[in-house]
Amino acid sequence: MESEKPDREELPQDRLFWVALTIFGSMFASGLFVVFQSLGWGLFQLIGGFLGLVVLIRDRTNVNFLRNTRIPKLPAGIPLRTLVLVLASATISIFVGHTISQIMTIQTAVDQYVLPRSLTKKQVDEIRDYLSHRKVYSVTVKANPLDGEALEYAGQLFNALRGTDWTVEMNTSNQEPGTPNPGLCIEELGANSKPKFNPNDDPAELLRQAFQVSNIEVNCSGGSGSGEYKLFLLVGHRPLVMNAQPPALFRLGMWIASWGQE
């Protein structure tokens, strides 16, 4: 007794057709909207999606004006259909690459403009590891208690520094020095009475280098000459842009220039 078979079995090429149709259809549809924001990318997606749909529909349907059209060959003997499929595949690859690039750009913008500052475990470990091999000093971490984001970030810095042998204090008073600065500022009060440190053991420089090693941005430094010497880490309001880097081509050019000078 013969088993019943479905009227039509879906073949691998059928599934491939529907996948390709979805991809090219999505490209064509999204291009209709993208063209109003970016003419170049919009036309690119429109044309790529349209060419892919034409080839798919021609090979799948019995539409006379498509099915009965003889596709010419190029002078090299390559069918035009093959060239169109190659171009369509390249279009999909560029489209996917551009989409991923846009997603990464959005993530970078969120990190630079929106997210509050925070320390990673790696940064905390790097701060502690760097300072544990240096001379021990005292530092006061200060933040505005009315700035919740700055206060939270100051607490993380305070805890990271407490894991070293340094003497660390937390200060939220309205006394000098103030914290109107954006980002982090290393401030030295009483510079005139500052002990004569070895340049390799200067406390402000050690703190700056510890943050540099752990990839923590220090936005400014300063101080005053009078009074008893004291080192402060001033945690100001979050900068408008954080960890902004110049374009990749600019950084590549600077790297080549520096390499040529060595």
CB 56 within 8 A of CB 24: yes
Q: Would you say residue 76 has pLDDT above 90? A: no
Question: Can you tell me the mean pLDDT for 191-218?
Answer: 89
* Domain final residue, candidates 97, 113, 129: 113
Question: Can you tell me the mean pLDDT for 244-257?
Answer: 56
pLDDT in tens, 138-183: 999 999 999 999 999 999 999 999 999 999 999 999 888 989 898 8
Residue 139's DSSP bridge partners are 168
> Are residues 104 and 136 both part of a single domain?
no
Residue 153 is predicted with a pLDDT of: 94
pLDDT in tens, 186-201: 999 988 888 888 878 8
Residue of higher predicted confidence among 46 and 170:
170
* Domain final residue, candidates 113, 135, 170: 113
Q: Would you say residue 64 has pLDDT above 50? A: no
Residue 126 is predicted with a pLDDT of: 95
In a domain, 144, yes or no: yes
In a domain, 29, yes or no: yes
Indicate the helix (H) or strand (E) that contains 256: helix 248-261
**Cα torsion 113, 115, 118, 120: sign:** negative
Question: Can you tell me the mean pLDDT for 9-29?
Answer: 70
> Are residues 61 and 104 both part of a single domain?
yes
Q: Which domain holds residue 156?
A: 121-235
In a domain, 53, yes or no: yes
In a domain, 39, yes or no: yes
Residue 246 is predicted with a pLDDT of: 54
In a domain, 152, yes or no: yes
Number of domains in the chain: 2
Q: What is the pTM of this model?
A: 0.58
Q: Would you say residue 1 has pLDDT above 60? A: no
Cβ of 188: how many Cβ atoms within 10 Å?
19
Residue 213 is predicted with a pLDDT of: 92
Joined tokens for residue 107: 């993530």
Q: Would you say residue 123 has pLDDT above 90? A: yes
Grouping H, G, I as helix, E, B as strand and the rest as coil, residue 69 is coil
